């Protein structure tokens, strides 16, 4: 993903600049070396103040017993909350569900869009612009509204989908109250929303691939399948990596409102995930320490997964430079 484009790196190292950087050279060399840091400073300051500082406070909270009411005292309880989180019976289920959710979303927002984008590659011109804009529409529907649409579609007795199912001879109950169906329904709803984004990113990636490569390969006798797997997909790898990471990062934000408004994690935690469990710890049970401890564990675990992923993608990405 983040592979240096030029072997010599940025302008700071380029010979061109050493000779011709008149204005820059006139200034103090230290000032020039500071420039990159000035560029990143605002972002770093914002993140330190509003993400990392609260994160640290969260670490503090995780060693305390507190019920979120400002006037109530906070009691230091050591690692008790961590022990409690790790021994929670819901944790295993929530973790497993999170893995299934992310796996399903990778399939829906990376693999499926790849197939769709390849299939619709020959839609060209105006039709293509229109098609891509329309496929993007579900991504724009606010999850709060889409959860209402899907609840309406799946409403037992009167909803459209149960009515069609009954007409076809497969009567169905309330999927959101069905332990075997609740998670699938959340996946369907979130997947519906995320699909368009994937198609758009991959279609743009396909449009950016130089057709000469495929043409050259075809002249050399390559079959379409070979061109697809040996040329198109490797050249698409930056898009695929970008989408995968976005999917993993966004899945939290996307599943939370749907789970909260459609299944509340139920029935019996069958559709909960780690984010929703955290929310329930903190706000439903009024146990800030427990929620904080879960958050810290989550950060460490997820951070490691993400680091691994970034590391992997650096190696797997193929760049057309």
Partner 1 sequence: MSTPTATRRRAFTWAPTRTYVQAAVILIWCLLPFYWMIVTAFRDVGYTFDPTPFFTHVTFDNFATVFDESLGNHFARNLLNSLIVAGLTTVISLLVGVFAAYALARLKFRFKEMVLGFVLGASMFPGVALITPLFQLFTNLGWMGSYQALIIPSISFSLPLAVYTLTSFFREMPWELEEAARIDGCTQGQAFRKIILPLAAPATFTTAILTFIGAWNEFLIANQLSSDATKTVTVAIASFAGAQPHQEPYTAVMAAGTVVTIPLVILVLIFQKKIVAGLTAGAVK
Window 256-285: residues binding partner 1 (CB under 8 A): 256-257, 260-261, 274-275, 278-279, 282-283
Q: Are 188 and 181 in contact (CB under 8 A)?
A: no
Q: Which stretch in 85-93, 169-177, 220-228, 264-272 sits in contact with partner 1 by CB under 8 A? A: 220-228
79 binds partner 1 (CB under 8 A): no
Angle between helices 182-207 and 233-258 (to 10 degrees): 150
Q: Which of 145, 166, 308, 312 binds partner 1 (CB under 8 A)?
A: 145
Q: Which of 97, 238, 247, 262 binds partner 1 (CB under 8 A)?
A: 238
Q: Which of 153, 165, 172, 233 binds partner 1 (CB under 8 A)?
A: 153
Q: How many helices (H) and strands (E) does the chain have?
A: 17, 2
95 binds partner 1 (CB under 8 A): no
Angle between helices 80-87 and 89-106 (to 10 degrees): 70
Transcribe 134-162 into DSSP letters.
HHTHHHHS-HHHHHHHHHHHH-TTTSHHH
Least gap, CB of 34 to partner 1 (angstroms):
9
Taken as a whole, the chain contains a residue count of: 321
141 binds partner 1 (CB under 8 A): yes
* Spatial separation of the C-alpha atoms in residues 4 and 74, rounded to whole Å: 49
Closest CB to partner 1 among 120 and 184? 120
Residue (of 178, 197, 188) closest to 136 by Cα position: 197
114 binds partner 1 (CB under 8 A): no
The SS3 of residue 212 is: helix
Least gap, CB of 252 to partner 1 (angstroms):
6
156 binds partner 1 (CB under 8 A): no
Q: Which stretch in 77-85, 100-108, 171-179, 218-226 sits in contact with partner 1 by CB under 8 A? A: 218-226
266: left (phi over 0), alpha (psi -120 to 50) or beta: beta
Q: Which stretch in 88-96, 168-176, 264-272, 289-297 sits in contact with partner 1 by CB under 8 A? A: 289-297
Least gap, CB of 166 to partner 1 (angstroms):
12
Closest CB to partner 1 among 60 and 268? 60
106 binds partner 1 (CB under 8 A): no
Q: Which of 52, 76, 79, 312 binds partner 1 (CB under 8 A)?
A: 52
Helix boundaries (H) for 208-273? 211-219, 224-227, 233-258
List all residues 6 or more positions away from 141 whose beta carbon is below 8 Å from its beta carbon. 149, 193
294 binds partner 1 (CB under 8 A): yes
Angle between helices 288-316 and 80-87 (to 10 degrees): 70
DSSP helix, strand, coil percent of the chain (3-state; round to 5): 75, 0, 25
Least gap, CB of 187 to partner 1 (angstroms):
14
Q: Give the count of alpha carbons within 13 A of 242, CB side only.
A: 16
Q: Which of 101, 190, 288, 313 binds partner 1 (CB under 8 A)?
A: 288
Residue (of 115, 270, 129) closest to 187 by Cα position: 270
99 binds partner 1 (CB under 8 A): no
| Binding residues for partner 1, total number by CB under 8 A | 129
67 binds partner 1 (CB under 8 A): no
Q: Which stretch in 29-37, 85-93, 100-108, 178-186 sits in contact with partner 1 by CB under 8 A? A: 29-37
165 binds partner 1 (CB under 8 A): no
């Amino acid at each position: 993903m983040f592979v240096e484009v030029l072997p010599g790196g940025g302008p700071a190292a380029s010979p061109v600049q050493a000779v011709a950087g008149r204005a820059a050279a006139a200034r103090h060399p230290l000032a020039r070396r500071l420039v990159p840091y000035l560029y990143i400073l605002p972002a770093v300051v914002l993140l330190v103040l509003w993400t990392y500082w609260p994160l640290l406070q969260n670490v503090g909270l995780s060693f305390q017993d507190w019920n979120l009411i400002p006037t109530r005292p906070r009691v230091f309880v050591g690692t008790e909350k961590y022990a409690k989180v790790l021994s929670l019976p819901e944790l295993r289920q929530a973790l497993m569900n999170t893995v299934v959710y992310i796996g399903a979303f990778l399939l829906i927002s990376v693999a499926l869009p790849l197939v769709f984008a390849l299939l619709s590659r020959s839609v060209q011109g105006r039709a293509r612009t229109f098609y891509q804009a329309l496929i993007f529409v579900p991504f724009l529907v606010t999850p709060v509204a889409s959860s209402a649409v899907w609840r309406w579609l799946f409403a037992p007795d009167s909803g459209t989908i149960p009515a069609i199912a009954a007409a076809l001879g497969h009567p169905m109950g309330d999927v959101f109250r069905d332990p075997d169906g609740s998670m699938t329904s959340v996946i369907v709803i979130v997947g519906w929303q995320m699909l368009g984004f994937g198609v758009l990113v991959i279609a743009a990636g396909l449009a950016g691939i130089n057709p000469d490569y495929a043409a050259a390969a075809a002249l050399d006798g390559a079959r379409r399948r070979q061109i697809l797997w040996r040329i198109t997909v490797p050249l698409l790898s930056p898009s695929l990596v970008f989408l995968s990471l976005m999917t993993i990062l966004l899945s939290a934000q996307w599943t939370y409102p749907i789970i909260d408004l459609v299944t509340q994690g139920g029935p019996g935690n069958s559709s909960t995930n780690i984010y929703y469990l955290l929310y329930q710890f903190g706000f439903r049970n009024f146990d800030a320490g427990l929620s904080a401890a879960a958050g810290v564990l989550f950060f460490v675990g997820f951070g490691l997964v993400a680091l691994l992923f970034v590391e992997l993608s650096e190696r797997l990405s193929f760049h057309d430079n």
